[in-house]
Amino acid sequence: MVVGCPHLLALNLDIMKRSFEYFHEEMERDLEDLITFPAFFTYGLESMVKPRHELVSKKLLKCSLDWLLNFSDEKFHERMTYDSISIEEMEEREEEEAEISSVSSFLQLQKTPKDESTHSDEESFIV
């Protein structure tokens, strides 16, 4: 989770506990959702998570944490005017994230440092 969201290391533990309690007890979601979207803990519980969860619950909608939280208030409220959630919209968002993740992984592989043994061999030739 920390690799997916390094900001978790800087968060207040008490705030994270309250967010997790709400996630577990009120939202009744699977832990897999947190693994998929660890940034959940970076959103304000009172200012964003609760109000949005309550609106989605009133409409009896099911959605990912990303869909619930990862958009501006304007976009979220626009979505709440829909009669239903577009599965295509959710799938497109997931595909975009998968592409970004694979590009990021590729770039990280390209940054892998050279083998230290090769480096020491080069140094031995310097006179």
Whether 105 is covered by a domain: the verdict is: no
Q: Which of 17-26, 51-60, 107-116 has the lowest mean pLDDT?
A: 107-116
Secondary element (H or E) of residue 92: helix 87-110
Q: Report the SS3 class of residue 120.
A: helix
Q: What's the pLDDT tens digit per position in 60-107?
A: 888 899 999 998 999 998 888 876 665 555 555 556 555 555 555 555
Whether 76 is covered by a domain: the verdict is: yes
Per cent of the chain over pLDDT 70 is 57
Q: Please provide the average confidence, as pLDDT, over all residues in the chain.
A: 75
Taking the CB of residue 52, how many other CB atoms lie within 10 A of it? 21
Taking the CB of residue 68, how many other CB atoms lie within 10 A of it? 22
Whether 75 is covered by a domain: the verdict is: yes
Counted domains in the chain: 1
Whether 55 is covered by a domain: the verdict is: yes
Whether 62 is covered by a domain: the verdict is: yes
Whether 52 is covered by a domain: the verdict is: yes
| Domain housing 31 | 6-82
Residue 33 corresponds to which tokens in the numbers above? 């959702």
Whether 63 is covered by a domain: the verdict is: yes
Whether 120 is covered by a domain: the verdict is: no
